[in-house]
């Protein structure tokens, strides 16, 4: 059970009319004398217009906790701003809450509420979070943290980075969900670790990277259900370089075209409590070093398929390992770094074998990819004008002889040619297999 808390020494925080500076001091102590206070949080709902500013500071053993009212479009509009801080366990907390205000006769300040809470771990209460963190690209985005805790067990979110904004309640009991937002980032990459209960939750966001250029692509990824894909990046230079991996989905996936958010693991690092969720992530590789990124997630339907693109500041290359969990079969495919006018795959759909094909559009515009199929005599057997249409950064995977592919190749040998559209860039790969293991 939580120890009792005794509060003493209240003071005036803010008096009206507003003063340029006001402060109040109070003390909190555990009744048992046990050192169980490990953090504090505060939130204020307010808004300022013009050149007005409103800053609230709460002193703690871990340093000051500062909240600044946001600039809003008009008087009366408010936004809730929250902050948290953790510190080594103490049995008492003497804190001063101070307010600093600047405003002219034409500026406005709207206050709608202030609250504070302490972080006090509850004996016998354990919680878990899912995912274990999330990585965002420079465009930012929204995320959520799923908390699993016993009924009646309290939890709170602390140590929230200044560039992460909680959009839901930051505290609760039992199972719950915390929503947050990461705004676009035009500066250097950002990373931080929040604490949910006593469980760390990592957040990272890509930023501007000087010298970043496109390296290559992997035309196919398969994750969850019966598949995993492991990406291995290798720095072929003695100098350190930064890599950016971007994942894109498939029109057949629930998320459709666009970023493909997957749970990711990093086998070279100490085991994490849960995978990192992300569709884009930046990593720096030392000279001649390698980085391994694996897909995780539940082994339940549907299989998630898509593609990957790599950009880097140096000589970074790589390959993918596709692993079929049920049969333990694997295929190793190198990163496609060429920019060819066309790509040719040989097929042999006889004797019960099939060719799995993946094609990726690496352009930010829609692409119509011409297709020419020849049998083993060299005769063209595809229909005139045969093509595959893909959206920007789009991807398509299919079994060549299936109705969703090109049934004319059934029980035949030959080649299939994919023609790069003018001004575009594509990649393709083929995996020969015995059905039904193709994702």
Q: What percent of the chain has pLDDT over 90?
A: 53
Residue 163 lies in a domain: yes
Residue 438 maps to a domain: no
234-245 pLDDT tens trace = 999 999 999 999
Residue 408 in 3-state DSSP? Answer: helix
Quick one: 316 and 222 in the same domain? yes
Tell me: pLDDT of 184 over 80: yes
pLDDT confidence of residue 70? 85
d(CA 430, CA 219): 9
How many whole angstroms separate alpha carbon 174 and alpha carbon 148? 7
**Measured on CA atoms in the order 35, 36, 41, 42, is the torsion positive or negative?**
negative
More confident of the two residues 354 and 310: 310
CA–chain centroid gap for 429, Å, is 27
The pLDDT value given to residue 86:
79
108 and 92 in one domain?
yes
CATH of the domain at 249: 2.60.120
CATH code, domain with 198: 2.60.40.10
Cα angle 327-332-336, degrees, rounded to a multiple of 5: 140
% of the chain exceeding 70 in pLDDT: 88
Looking at residue 351, its pLDDT comes to 85
Residue with tokens 């930051």: 170
Domain stop point among 54, 88, 119: 119
- Of 119, 136, 165, the last residue of a domain is 119
132 and 113, same domain (yes or no): no
pLDDT of residue 23 exceeding 80: no
For residues 369 and 413, membership in a common domain is answered with yes
- Asked whether residue 439 is assigned to any structural domain, the reply reads no
How confident is residue 121, by pLDDT bands cut at 50, 70 and 90?
low
119, 154, 169: which is the final residue of a domain?
Answer: 119
Neighbours of 150 (CB within 10 A): 13
36-62 tens-digit pLDDT: 778 787 878 888 888 888 888 888 888
Residues 6 or more apart whose CB falls under 8 angstroms from that of 314 comprise 235, 237, 239, 240, 241, 242
Residue 109 confidence class, pLDDT cut points 50, 70, 90: confident
On average, the pLDDT of the chain sits at: 86
Confidence of residue 189 (pLDDT cuts 50, 70, 90): very high
Are residues 312 and 217 part of one domain? yes
Helices (H) and strands (E) in the chain, counts: 0, 34
**Do 19 and 115 lie in a common domain?**
yes
Q: Are residues 217 and 330 in the same domain?
A: yes
Residue 35, pLDDT > 80, answer no
User: Residue 254: is its pLDDT beyond 50?
Assistant: no
Split at pLDDT 50, 70, 90, the class of 5 is very low
Please give the average per-residue pLDDT across 89-94, as a whole number: 81
Q: Of 12-21, 68-77, 216-225, 254-263, which gets the smallest average pLDDT? A: 12-21
State the Cα–Cα distance between residues 295 and 314, nearest whole angstrom: 25
pLDDT over 50 at 12, yes or no: no
Q: Tell me, what CATH number does 366's domain have?
A: 2.60.290.11
Residue 213: pLDDT band with limits 50, 70, 90: very high
pLDDT in tens, 258-279: 789 999 999 999 888 889 999 9
In which residue are the tokens 């972080």 written?
Answer: 119
96 and 10 in a single domain? The answer is yes
Cβ–Cβ under 8 Å, residues 291 and 258: no
Shared domain check, 318 and 237:
yes
Token pair in block for residue 288 = 């001649």
The larger pLDDT score, comparing residue 69 to residue 378, is at 378
- Give the helix ranges, DSSP H, for 303-426: none
Do 228 and 272 reside in the same domain of the chain? yes
Q: Which residues fall within 8 angstroms of residue 82, CB to CB, at 6 or more apart? A: 41, 42, 43, 67, 160, 166, 170
Q: Give the model confidence (pLDDT) of 390-424 as tens digits.
A: 988 999 999 999 999 999 999 999 999 999 999 99
Residue 246 forms part of a structural domain = yes
- Give a yes or no: residue 407 inside a domain: yes
Instruction: Give the domain extent around 226.
Output: 213-334
Asked if 284 and 226 sit in the same domain, the reply is yes
Identify the residue with better confidence: 23 or 262. Answer: 262
Q: How sure is the predictor about 3, in pLDDT bands with cuts at 50, 70 and 90?
A: very low
pLDDT at 368 over 90: yes
327 with 235, same domain: the answer is yes
């Amino acid at each position: 059970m939580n120890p009792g808390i005794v509060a003493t020494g209240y003071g005036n925080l803010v008096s009206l009319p507003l003063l340029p500076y006001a402060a109040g001091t109070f003390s909190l102590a555990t009744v048992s004398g046990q050192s169980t206070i490990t953090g504090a949080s505060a939130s204020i709902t307010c808004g300022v217009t013009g050149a007005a500013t409103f800053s609230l500071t709460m002193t703690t053993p871990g340093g000051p906790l500062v909240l600044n009212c946001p600039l809003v479009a008009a008087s009366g509009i408010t936004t809730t701003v929250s902050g948290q801080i953790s510190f080594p366990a103490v049995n008492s907390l003497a804190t001063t809450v101070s307010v600093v205000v600047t405003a002219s006769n034409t500026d406005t300040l709207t206050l709608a509420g202030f609250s504070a809470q302490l972080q006090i771990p509850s004996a016998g209460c354990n919680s878990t979070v899912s995912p274990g963190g999330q990585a965002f690209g420079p465009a930012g985005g929204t995320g959520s943290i799923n908390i699993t805790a016993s009924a009646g067990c309290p939890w709170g979110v602390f140590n929230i980075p200044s560039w992460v904004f909680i959009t839901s309640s930051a505290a609760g009991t039992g199972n719950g969900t915390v929503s947050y937002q990461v705004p676009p980032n035009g500066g250097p990459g950002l990373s931080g670790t929040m604490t949910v209960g006593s469980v760390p939750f990592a957040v990272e966001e890509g930023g501007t990277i000087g010298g970043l250029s496109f390296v290559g692509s992997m035309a196919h990824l398969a994750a969850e259900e019966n598949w995993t894909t492991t990406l291995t990046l290798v720095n072929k230079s003695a100098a350190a370089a930064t890599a950016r991996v971007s994942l894109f989905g498939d029109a057949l996936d629930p998320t459709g075209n666009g970023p493909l958010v997957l749970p990711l693991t990093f086998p070279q690092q100490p085991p994490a409590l849960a995978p990192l969720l992300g569709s884009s992530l930046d990593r720096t590789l030392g000279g001649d070093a390698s980085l391994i990124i694996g897909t995780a997630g539940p082994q339940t339907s549907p299989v998630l398929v898509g593609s990957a693109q790599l950009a880097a500041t140096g000589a970074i290359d790589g390959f993918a390992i596709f692993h079929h969990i049920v049969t333990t079969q694997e295929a190793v495919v190198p990163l496609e770094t060429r920019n060819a006018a066309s790509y040719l795959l040989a097929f042999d759909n006889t004797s019960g074998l099939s060719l799995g094909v993946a094609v990726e559009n690496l352009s930010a515009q829609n692409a119509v990819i011409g297709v020419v199929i020849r049998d083993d005599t060299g005769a063209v057997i595809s229909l005139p004008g045969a093509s595959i249409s893909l959206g920007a950064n789009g991807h398509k995977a299919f079994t060549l002889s299936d109705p969703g592919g090109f049934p004319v190749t059934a029980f035949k040998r030959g080649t299939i040619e994919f023609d790069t559209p003018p001004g575009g860039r594509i990649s393709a790969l083929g995996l020969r297999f015995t059905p039904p293991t193709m994702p």
